[in-house]
Amino acid sequence: MQLEDKVVLVTGAARGVGRACASRFAAEGAHLVLVDIAAPVEGVPYPLGTASQLDHTLELCRAEGAAALAMTADVRDLESVRNAVAQALARFGRIDVVLNNAGIAAPSGKAAHHIEEDEWQLMIDVNLSGAWRVIRAAAAGMLERRVGSIINVASTAGLVGYRHFAGYVAAKHGLIGLTRAAALDFAPFQVRVNAICPGSVRDDAAVEGRMLSEIARSLSVPVDEHEETFVQAQPMNALIEPEDIASAAVWLACDGSRRVTGTVVTVDAGFTAR
């Protein structure tokens, strides 16, 4: 029970990596605040998590014995984020850990000079500015109490470039920069900020993941062949499992990493080691 009685706020909790991390946090003894937009977003060309999927994540956490609260919020809107944080504080009195996981993979699939301005803005607004808004809303209480862990889910796209993914790559590089800068800002207050960079995460049906298949679509990779295609780029000849990301998140959230801040934990089966 590495996270016993800690209060953890997870964005993008309806499915995928967010659900995997939330249920693992619950199994480790945490109380959960589950946040997701749970609605379509104009400009994102694939379905996002739904209210019923968010409710299912809530049920999974409660089945682990966790006290849990689920709510909708849009990380593109600061007031929406502040309201979610306020509800969390009203229920639990504090937030100990933030997992900034909300993100989108598309609109992508075109060269940088073909990206429309609204497509660029949407990617930055969700994948980078969204994390900053959550930090802005949630950090004050952590700094006042002089304890806390903020974990930003970036990507190997925050470390290397990918053709036809300039917006996503720029946002994830920016998220790592935000992680390092905020880590220095908050270090005197014993509040830690770190990033996880997943590689190609398998779309596990148990968590209803679909990010990798959507990346494949953007790259014109046949969806029925996408796992084999992505595995070929992995030095360990295996895709990342959502549980692999959850394990890294638990370590960064728990007291065992109390002197770890400003760090990027890469979970990519060796992809960026080449």
Q: Which residues are catalytic, by number?
A: 168
Rounded to whole angstroms, the Cα distance separating 170 from 93 reads 36
* Residue 37 to residue 34: CA distance in whole angstroms: 10
Dihedral angle over CA of 73, 74, 77, 79, nearest 10: 0
Alpha helices in 125-259 (DSSP H): 130-145, 166-186, 211-218, 226-231, 242-253
Helical packing angle, 242-253 and 16-27, nearest 10°? 50
C-alpha neighbours within 13 Å on the C-beta side of residue 232:
4
CA geometry: angle 113, 114, 119, nearest 5 deg: 110
Q: What torsion do the CA atoms of 136, 9, 123, 83 make, to the nearest 10 degrees?
A: -60
* Cis, bond preceding 107 (omega within 30 deg of 0): yes
